[in-house]
Amino acid sequence: MKFFASCNKGLEYLLADEMLALGCARATATMAGVNAEGTLEDAQRAVLWSRLASRVLWPLAEFPCDDEHALYRGVAVLPWREHMDETMTLAVDAHVSGDAITHARYAAQRVKDAVVDTLREATGVRPSVDIDAPDLRLNLVVRKGRAIVSVDLGGGPMHRRGWRRAQGEAPLKENLAAAVLLRGGWKQVYADGGALLDPMCGSGTLMIEGALMAADVAPGLMRHGDVLPSRWLGFDEKSWARMYAQAHERKRAGRDALRDVFHGSDSDPHMVRAARENATAAGLRDAIAFDVCGMAVLPAQQARRGLVVCNPPYDARLAADPALYRTLGDALKRAVPNWRASLLCGDVALAHATGLRVAKKYQLFNGALECSLVVCDPVRPAMRDDAQPRALSDGAQMLANRLRKNLRNLKSWRAREGVECFRAYDADLPEYAAAIDVYPETDDPDTTWLHVQEYAAPAQIPEADVRRRFGEVLAAAREVFGVPRERVATKTRARGKGGSKYAQAGAGFGPRGESFVVREGEARLRVNLFDYLDTGLFLDHRPLRQRIFREARGRRFLNLFCYTGAATVQAAVGGAAATTSVDLSATYLQWLSDNLRENTLDGRAIGGEAHRLVQADAVAWLEADVGRYDLIFCDPPTFSNSARADDFDVQREHVRLLRAAVARLAQGGVVYFSNNFRRFRLDVDAVAEFADCEDISAQTIPQDFARNPRIHQAWRLQKP
């Protein structure tokens, strides 16, 4: 059986590993959660033992939901007497997206109405609603015209462990605290005899969560006590009782063996009192030492190795201050130079302000706030005998400052749009003419790759200056993003004969033939930064691909000059009835095939007869084709002189190409046409003879390419 465990964005892969460790047959990370496969007992075990999940949702039904009436009918037909009786209380949480139903509270109300109306008709008694502590909590998700109704097996937010008695202004949720500890490798550090320190402990969340983790205490023990987490009639009470008793035995043994290696401190005595109160409620009064101590006087720790964890202030309410982060970094270098550190910082710039060398960096969200979780190991690396670390030159420092400014400016947009791969810099400073693209690796979230493209310098610039400036570009990029040389791909772009572009890979610090998977929206796409002119993913076409994703459901999609098929994958993941992708290159078609296999629908890899790959000259194939398509994407090259096809010039051939494409449209169909030839001019009069044409270029330039609005042009065409 499939069920869903939700979590904060950024914790998905950690949670997937945890669900597998808890016995699930499969666990696949998705946006803000994990799709798991297992038994009801596996799901209930997750309620008791998961340190990372926010909720565990057991599905009751999934059905089409085009409006509120379909929602009511879909819920009303369920056998509610198998799930609750008339004496039980009910609550409904709802999450909706799309145009069909736009108000979550109203959707929850309609689900509640359908349930209580059904039970009242069957029993004559109307169940009551209890928002705070219901016997049965339901969860509704409406998305893409489908509704899923589930039982919330945990009965509410699972980050609440049951021990919190006091808190500060912005307390850290317990499941985020668990992520900070797990990313820092706390379990292994403790097993190896290490200690735990939080020099800005606040109300003690990180210290208490770390001690409970070390003592093998199930997170759900205190949250539920002797009360079932849900009184849903389908809940397996015998299985829960058995797991609950076993968890108590593990707690007793773990608590007896717990070592006194936990030390929290804070400069605010009120917070220290709150931390002690919470530790007492968690049964850890004697296990954790809490002291009033400012960071500036943080004493050196006696333990040779350990983990320091910290959640310094970073949101608007707590007035993040880079100077505070510098003080934190200096204190840790002095007090625990050989320890590991796991720090939840507000952003990359604040993490950099600590002055610590970051070994790993993770992006996650504390509510709506995007944060950077950085791991340093050790806090103060040993200096090489032959060299001291070199400071950035003035020019590289200037470029690093611009990069950090760009990251801050793009931060809210990236969070809002869910953008992972993006352009961080595009010749913003004229003397540093390069583009820097960022590719976080989806399957290894601590790994980020950079693709740095150097634009050709004017002939009058001395070669020595060109080399120096590009070296400063690389130094600034590696400093800001904290990536080693081997994860930076370098290329030089220049003008060849006849105005054509070529790219030359730099000396290259990474392995050739290496590709990895990145995420764009709901699609997984494979990129290769080293071996080809481009990476396999045109970042500037991101908005066009998202249009295709939104418009593809149930439609026949054609991708001409498909390249590596990123648009095809978006159409397939978006629910296209069928896709056809045409390109002359066998390499690109194989790449597309690999991309399709990276994605799944209903647990199966996308592929088969519904997704056709055609190796052919796109123009000749299109003019011979007799198929009908509802959605066509055409992004041809500027020029092609392949020996296997007629020469192609987009300026010369575009009317012929578009006429053939529009001829293949079904009624109401759309062609999206794009190209990146800067001097291209659409023959408006000729195109008007066979299509209504709208210039949508401005709508398709993403924010990270705003400095380069002519990166491509795009049009939307329909039959008149």
- At 541-552, the pLDDT tens digits run 999 999 999 999
**Mind listing the pLDDT tens digit for each residue in 318-365?**
445 778 888 899 999 999 999 999 999 987 778 888 888 888 888 888
Any idea which residue has 């499969």 for tokens?
26
> Residue 235 domain-assigned?
no
Q: Which is nearest to 91 in space by CA: 127, 43, 42, 45? A: 127
> Residue 132 domain-assigned?
yes
Dist CA 678 CA 663 (whole Å):
27
Q: Does 31 lie in the same domain as 147? A: yes
Share the mean pLDDT of the chain.
90
Any idea which residue has 């490798």 for tokens?
185
Q: Does 410 lie in the same domain as 330? A: no
C-alpha atoms less than 13 angstroms from C-alpha of 528 in its C-beta half-sphere = 17
> Residue 638 domain-assigned?
yes
DSSP annotation string for 551-615: H-TT-EEEEES-TT-HHHHHHHHTT-SEEEEEES-HHHHHHHHHHHHT-EETTEES-STTEEEEE
pLDDT of residue 6: 96
Dist CA 454 CA 644 (whole Å):
32
Q: Does 409 lie in the same domain as 314? A: no
Contacts of 191 (CB under 8 A, 6+ apart): none
Q: Give the bridge partners for 672, in sequence order.
A: 633, 716
CATH at residue 357: 3.40.50.150
Q: Which is nearest to 208 in space by CA: 291, 271, 281, 270? A: 281
Q: Does 569 lie in the same domain as 473? A: no
Q: Does 595 lie in the same domain as 566? A: yes
> Residue 518 domain-assigned?
no
CATH at residue 439: 3.30.750.80
CATH at residue 71: 3.30.2130.30
> Which strand (E) or helix (H) includes residue 516?
strand 516-520
> Buried b / exposed e across 227-256, counting CB within 10 Å, b at 16+?
ebbbbbeebeeeebeebbeebeebbeebbe
pTM: 0.63
Taking the CA atoms of residue 38, residue 41, residue 43 and residue 45 in that order, the dihedral angle to the nearest 10 degrees is -130
**Mind listing the pLDDT tens digit for each residue in 32-72?**
999 999 999 999 999 999 999 999 999 999 999 999 999 99
Q: Does 705 lie in the same domain as 632? A: yes
> Residue 191 domain-assigned?
yes
**Mind listing the pLDDT tens digit for each residue in 462-481?**
888 888 999 999 999 999 99
> Residue 236 domain-assigned?
no
Dist CA 366 CA 7 (whole Å):
11
Q: Does 89 lie in the same domain as 179? A: no
Q: Which is nearest to 118 in space by CA: 168, 84, 146? A: 84
Q: Does 554 lie in the same domain as 679? A: yes
User: Cβ–Cβ contacts within 10 Å for residue 366, how many?
Assistant: 20
The pLDDT-based confidence of 317 (bands split at 50, 70, 90) is very low
Structural domain count, the chain = 4
> Residue 112 domain-assigned?
yes
Dist CA 617 CA 610 (whole Å):
21
The pLDDT-based confidence of 643 (bands split at 50, 70, 90) is low
First to last CA, the chain: 49
> Residue 520 domain-assigned?
no
Q: 45 lies in which domain range?
A: 2-152
**Mind listing the pLDDT tens digit for each residue in 151-198?**
999 999 999 999 999 887 778 999 999 999 999 999 999 999 999 999
Q: Does 450 lie in the same domain as 483? A: yes
Q: Does 432 lie in the same domain as 305? A: no
> Buried b / exposed e across 625-651, counting CB within 10 Å, b at 16+?
beeebbbbbbbbebbbeeeeeeebebe
